[in-house]
Each structure stands twice: as structure tokens, then as C-alpha cells.
Structure 1
Amino acid sequence: LKTLRSYFLRVYIYRLARDELNWTENLPCGLWDCNCEFRQTKGCCCVSSALMQLEEATMLSMLSISEDLHNLNQHIDAIAGGRNVAFTASLTSTPGCFGPFNKNVPIPYQNITLNQGHGYNSALGAFTVPRAGLYSFSYSTYSNMGVAGEHIYQKTQLVRDGQVVSSSWEDNREDSEDSATHTMLLKLHPGNQVYVELVLGRFLCGDTQGFNSFSGYLVYPMQDV
């Protein structure tokens, strides 16, 4: 009776596992073999070989599933962690004027209030893209000449790897102060650099409250842009 129970248990386990793994092979000796089961119980051939094969196949399948889960978790972590990319910085207090210069100069926004992902470098005044995705950038340009009738002469532009993608300018004597803000969406690759530069011959004056600012963040990552 004990031998029969053992046999039926092995057959049940085999059938269960075979159904789970779509096992297509037949059992050696058939599903029932009295000669094998009752006369050669110590070395019965009925299901032992098939169960060993099934055990090996099950182990390989579990290892494959475990590897797939590990890769999936890494992918999820990369996406979730990659979303934490954002920065905002402003020009330090400038009671005088920044500029003019004899060439275009990146504006060094050195007052950093946020730099998640460490993509913004205040020494360069530039944001270096850490991963591919769609990014949003905003920059504000402000100048206060202090006296009515003074010439406001400013022009700034958003630049991606040396290519101008947006600009803001003012050239008049009617206002003593003026400002402008631009926002852009850009598809970017890792290593791309984005910055705001002051155009040659122009200047920004009288910003004592950090109104000249530059910020950006990752809207969502992309596999290929």
C-alpha cells in the first residue's frame, strides 16, 4: 500500500508539473506497470527518469524566470530613478551689470536651489543630459537700468550643443526695467548640453533679487530619441 501511495504521488506530481510546463513526453513503462512497480521497487524505472528530467527542466525554468524578474526590476529602478532629474538656478545679485562682452557668453547661474540628478554645472552654466528623454526648460531674463530713459539692451538665448533654439531680446529707452520668460520642450540624448547665453554687446543690469533664472526637468524618459 505504501508503494502504491508513493507511485500515485509521483504520477500526480509529474502530471501537475507537466501541465504547468507543457511537458509533452510520455512516462517510461507507461502510466502503470505492475511488473516494474512490485518486482523492482528499489530501482523502479516507471517515473524516476522522467521526474529527474522534469526536476531539471523546472530548475532551469525557475532560473530563467528569476533572471527575467531581476532584469525587469533593474529596468523599473532605472526608469523610476531616472525621473528624478530637475534643476533650478539664478544669477547671483547683480547691482551693476553683467556684460557686455565681445562674444556670446554662457550665463553662470551660480545660485542653485535644486539640482536633482546633478546635471547642472554652475561653473559651466550648463546642464548636461544624464539620460535620453523629453525635457522642459525655462529661462527668465530681467534687467533694471534704474533710471528712466536709460537704454535697455539685452538679448539672451537658449542653446543646445551650440545651436540656438530660443531667444529673448529687448532694445528700447521707454522702460527702465523689463523681463521675459521662455519655456521649451526638447528631445535630448545623454551628453547633450543645454545652457543660456548672453549675446555679445548686450548686458543685464540691476538684478538684485535673482530674477534672471534657468531651470529644467525630465518630463519622461525615452528609449530612443
Structure 2
Amino acid sequence: MSSLYLSLSVLLVPCGNWNCACVFRHQRGCCCASRQLYELEDQAFRRTMGLRLSAQIRESTCGVRVAFTASMSPRVNCFGPFSTDIPIPYSIISLNHGSGYNPALGIFTAPRPGLYSFSFSAYSRVRRSGDRMYYKVQLMRNGEVMASTWEDNREDVEDSSTQTVLLQLQRGGQVYVQLLTGRQLCGDINGLNTFSGYLLYSSET
């Protein structure tokens, strides 16, 4: 009779995620909540690690957010050619934390010393097959070339490329992307020419 009562109790009691058989039959011989306790411990660990990582990021950047991303305004015509190297004015700003990027000049000025990550994409499209695609853009740090990408052919109707670099900057250091003399970027109706950067960690003490 007691065995039947125990079986009915196991069937009728709403246990949720708990192991009813373990609760009613083996209370002294097993840890019936082991799975639930493990899940709680795992959640607590992941939350703690997330908080520690956030604290480390805040500490490494001295609590200052420096990040920007911008793109050229859509155009059916060409940007260029010019008789001199010229910074590309990425005038459409999606993000500008720290106000380091100047859209009128196309230049980022570091508000504090540290290690920064910069990326730029160059896109161009010619009107018809056989037209010359002719561009070269360079990422500059204080007037010195850090990275570049170029194209010169009559085979592609459109082309694009991307570069990403890590640069050490002092306060006031300037980074920009320039289009070289005689080159041009054409047919970017979707704002695919972009420039972005952010502070990885500050070197201020």
C-alpha cells in the first residue's frame, strides 16, 4: 500500500524541472537538485566574468569612449580626380564618441594617447565594361602612409577592398584616408566608402 501511495504521489505532484523520483525515493542517497544548482552556478560565473571584463575595458580606456564610423555621401558621379592628394571627406557620421572625427576635414584627431584600431573601405564602379577603374587610397598617420589599396584595370565594372590596422597615437595625432593625385572613386550610390576607428586602450597614466 505504501509503495502504491508513493508511486501515486510521484505522478500527481507537480515537480516542474525537479526529478520527482529522486525527491521521493532517494532523498538521502542523491543530490536531487544537482542539475539546477549547477545551472545556477554556471549563470553566476558567466555574469561575474562579464562584469569583470566590462570593468577591465573601462579601466584600460580610463572610462573614456572613443569611437567613430563615417561614410561618403552617396554619389552617381566621381569623387576626383584632383591635382593633389586630398583627404576623403566621409561626411555621413553614424557614430562619433569622443568627438575625435571631423567630417568637414575627414580627419580623426586622437583625444588621448593609446592604441587605436582603424578600418577603411574603398569602393568604385565604372559606367560600362572597358572603362578604366583607377583609384588609390591611403591611410595616413601624421602625414605618413600606414596602409593603402588601389585598382587600375579595364576588366572590372566595380571593385572594393578593405584595410584594418592598429596604430599607436599620441594626443593630437591625426589619422585620415586620402585619395591620390589623378585617381577617382565613382558610382558609390550606397555609401560603401567608409572610415572608422576606436580606442583599444589608453596609454595615459
Alpha-carbon distance, 1:149 to partner: 1.1
The DSSP-based 3-state class of the residue aligned with 1:94 is coil
1:223 partnered with 2:188:
no
For this pair of structures, how many residues does the alignment match? 148
1:194 partnered with 2:167:
no
Bigger Cα Rg: 1
The counterpart of 2:63, out of the listed 81, 91, 94, is: 81
Do the aligned partners of 2:112 and 2:204 also contact (CA within 8 Å) in 1? no
Task: For structure 2, list consecutive stretches of 5 or more residues without a partner in the other structure.
Answer: 1-57
In the alignment, which residue of structure 1 is the partner of 2:150?
169
Q: 1:66-105 to 2 correspondence within 5 Å?
A: 79-82=61-64, 84-105=65-86
Structure 1 residues 223 and 211 mapped into 2: Cα distance closer, same or farther (>3 Å)?
same
Task: For structure 1, list consecutive stretches of 5 or more residues without a partner in the other structure.
Answer: 1-75
The counterpart of 2:129, out of the listed 148, 160, 180, is: 148
Structure 1 residues 92 and 137 mapped into 2: Cα distance closer, same or farther (>3 Å)?
same
Alpha-carbon distance, 1:79 to partner: 4.2
1:139 partnered with 2:139:
no
- One-letter amino acid of the counterpart of residue 95, structure 1: V
The DSSP-based 3-state class of the residue aligned with 2:111 is coil
Which structure's relative contact order is higher, taking Cα pairs within 8 Å and 6+ residues apart? 2
Residues 184-220 of structure 1: CA distance to partner in whole angstroms, max 9, x if unpaired?
0001100000000000000000000010000000011
What TM-score, normalized by structure 1, do the two folds share? 0.64
The root-mean-square deviation of aligned C-alpha atoms, in Å, is 1.5
1:110 partnered with 2:91:
yes
Displacement over 3 Å in runs of 4+:
76-80
Structure 1 residues 184 and 78 mapped into 2: Cα distance closer, same or farther (>3 Å)?
closer
In 2, the alpha carbon distance for the partners of 1:97 and 1:169 equals 16
In 2, the alpha carbon distance for the partners of 1:92 and 1:126 equals 16
Residues 71-125 of structure 1: CA distance to partner in whole angstroms, max 9, x if unpaired?
xxxxx8894432x100000000110000000000000000000000000000110
Residues 40-84 of structure 1: CA distance to partner in whole angstroms, max 9, x if unpaired?
xxxxxxxxxxxxxxxxxxxxxxxxxxxxxxxxxxxx8894432x1
In 2, the alpha carbon distance for the partners of 1:79 and 1:203 equals 37
